[in-house]
Homo-oligomer: A and B are copies of this chain.
Amino acid sequence: MSLKAISSKDAASLDKDLMEIGGWSLDQLMELAGLSVSQAVYRMHPPTSGKNILVVCGPGNNGGDGLVAARHLAQYGYTPSIYYPKQGKNELYQRLKTQLTNLSVPFVDDLPVAIKSADFLVDAIFGFSFGGPLREPFPTVISQIESSTIPVLSVDAPSSWDVESGPPKQGPGSKFMPEALISLTAPKPCVKYYHGRHFLGGRFLTKSITDKYDLDLPVYPGIDQIVEVGVSGEGRL
């Protein structure tokens, strides 16, 4: 299946439109984005395959999507844990942390130990606004994920990848190829360097938005908040 990609600049503009013209709050958008991430995890890795989901969160909205996903995963019967080395300043992130703490979801400090006991990893470190370079602790974090054998779902983009030009040529992330990717609202250009299962999530766009940004999105089935758009391979979306 061929899907048009949205540039990093347009993705930022689309988010702005949703909030400034569309009437959306960040709370609402993040709730639905995180919900779709949780559904992709369930599809890739149902609780019967192992309940220990490690969600690695970055300092921005990609990390917030991960926090929301972890909350839903806890409700689905998983035992998620969170690695969140650098918390962002938005008060929403603090509230999401409170919600998780109230569900007894642990925030862990030791990533290598956490990876050893996890069945599946959600990479919610960086999203469409990442252009590099990685700053500590993230080169280490990416290297640890990259060198593990745990299956990974990346949110919006494989973290460390440039959203336009894909994986770094060398260093942390240069060999990072997650088992699955969930693009939020629309695929980002770097998806053409990606091989693996590919989902789309963020079922909240309007026709005027998809027209404005010239998106050509697939139909979500039934009540699903995700749609699988096939296995992506190099050179095509």
Which positions 89-104 of chain A face chain B at CB distance < 8 Å? 92, 94-99, 102-104
User: In this assembly, does A22 line the interface, its C-beta being within 8 Å of a C-beta of chain B?
Assistant: yes
Is the beta-carbon distance between A102 and B23 smaller than 8 angstroms?
A: yes
User: In this assembly, does A31 line the interface, its C-beta being within 8 Å of a C-beta of chain B?
Assistant: yes
How far does the alpha carbon of A102 sit from the alpha carbon of B17 in the complex, in Å? 12
Number of copies of this protein chain within its complex: 2
How far does the alpha carbon of A162 sit from the alpha carbon of B104 in the complex, in Å? 36
Cβ contacts under 8 Å, A103 to chain B: 206-207
A207 to chain B, nearest CB (A): 7
User: In this assembly, does A197 line the interface, its C-beta being within 8 Å of a C-beta of chain B?
Assistant: no
Is the beta-carbon distance between B102 and A208 smaller than 8 angstroms?
A: yes
Cβ contacts under 8 Å, A99 to chain B: 22-24
For A53-72 the 0/1 string (1 means CB < 8 A from B) is 00000000000000000011
Known contacts A27-B27, A75-B204, A203-B75: does B22 contact A102 (CB below 8 Å)?
yes
User: In this assembly, does A39 line the interface, its C-beta being within 8 Å of a C-beta of chain B?
Assistant: yes
How far does the alpha carbon of A22 sit from the alpha carbon of B208 in the complex, in Å? 36
Is the beta-carbon distance between A42 and B98 smaller than 8 angstroms?
A: no
Is the beta-carbon distance between A95 and B23 smaller than 8 angstroms?
A: yes
How far does the alpha carbon of A94 sit from the alpha carbon of B24 in the complex, in Å? 10
Which positions 108-133 of chain A face chain B at CB distance < 8 Å? none
User: In this assembly, does A28 line the interface, its C-beta being within 8 Å of a C-beta of chain B?
Assistant: yes
Lowest 10 A-B CB distances belong to which pairs? Answer: A23-B98, A23-B95, A27-B27, A102-B206, A23-B99, A31-B31, A25-B27, A27-B28, A42-B223, A103-B206
On A, residues with C-beta under 8 Å from B are: 21-25, 27-28, 31-32, 35, 38-39, 42, 71-72, 75-76, 92, 94-99, 102-104, 203-204, 206-208, 220, 222-223
16 A-B interface contacts by CB (under 8 A)? A21-B102, A22-B99, A22-B102, A23-B95, A23-B102, A24-B95, A24-B99, A27-B28, A27-B31, A28-B28, A42-B222, A75-B204, A75-B220, A76-B223, A102-B206, A104-B207
Q: A23-B99, A25-B95 are in contact. List 15 more A-B contacts (CB 8 A).
A: A21-B102, A22-B99, A23-B94, A23-B102, A25-B25, A27-B31, A28-B31, A71-B204, A75-B203, A76-B222, A76-B223, A102-B208, A103-B206, A103-B207, A104-B207
